A and B are shown apart, each in its own frame.
Chain A
């Protein structure tokens, strides 16, 4: 079945450092890909998404590009802030085969130090 694998955390960075969180997926169809963020004590929020190959999702300085050839959707940010400390989930949804279900990766916890 469909699955999502993302790098284990926690990831600890200093403020203004470059962030990469790796995410790869397996899917039988043509999924849409997502990054969700969960801030401490809050629910999940959609951070960005991409619906087809080579699409780039971006939001709040975060970017991720849908790479079909490498089945990847790595999250990047050029300069992180303390307020970016959260858990980040890579996810996919395949309406064609998954019935609108969303499959989540394990999550990567990010700590940003001042």
Chain B
């Protein structure tokens, strides 16, 4: 089946620094990728939708200058958390939609970010 990878799987950074998380579709082309945030024992909150070659669409309440998303190719999207603070600590999950499949999304394993 379709595989989505994320790197790193976990990261610890100091407050004020920036962290980049990569999301790759390994065996299919992803025209659309989604970034979610999951708090402990809670559901996934959609942060933004990114389409290859265009600007990401952010959900209401998500700071686009803080969470920079780049979908540079059909197999790679990146999320950069800029000037991270402890409240940004969370589990970040990406998903990708296969070109031609209007419904199914394939999820990455997630990245655990801890800001100290």
A binding-site residues for B, Cβ under 8 Å: 32, 36, 42-46, 49, 51, 89, 93, 95, 99-107, 109
Q: Given A42-B109, A43-B93, A43-B108, do A104 and B103 touch, yes or no (CB 8 Å)?
A: no
Q: Which residues on the B side are within 8 Å of A101 (C-beta)?
A: 34, 46, 49
The CA-CA distance from A114 to B110 in the complex, in Å, is: 29
Can you name 25 A-B residue pairings with CB atoms under 8 Å?
A32-B103, A36-B107, A43-B4, A43-B108, A43-B109, A45-B107, A46-B104, A49-B104, A89-B43, A93-B103, A93-B105, A95-B102, A99-B49, A100-B32, A100-B49, A100-B102, A101-B49, A102-B34, A102-B46, A102-B95, A103-B46, A104-B43, A106-B42, A106-B43, A107-B41
The CA-CA distance from A109 to B41 in the complex, in Å, is: 9
Q: Which residues on the A side are within 8 Å of B4 (C-beta)?
A: 43
Q: Given A89-B43, A106-B42, A107-B43, do A100 and B97 touch, yes or no (CB 8 Å)?
A: yes
Q: Is B72 an interface residue (CB 8 A)?
A: no
Task: Give the B interface residue count (CB, 8 A).
Answer: 21
B binding-site residues for A, Cβ under 8 Å: 4, 32, 34, 41-44, 46, 49, 57, 93, 95, 97, 102-105, 107-110
Known: A100-B97, A102-B34, A105-B43. 8 other contacts (CB 8 A): A43-B4, A44-B107, A93-B103, A101-B49, A103-B46, A106-B42, A106-B43, A107-B42
Q: Given A100-B32, A104-B44, A107-B43, do A43 and B107 touch, yes or no (CB 8 Å)?
A: yes
Q: Which residues on the A side are within 8 Å of B32 (C-beta)?
A: 100
The CA-CA distance from A105 to B49 in the complex, in Å, is: 19
Q: Given A49-B103, A100-B32, do A89 and B49 touch, yes or no (CB 8 Å)?
A: no
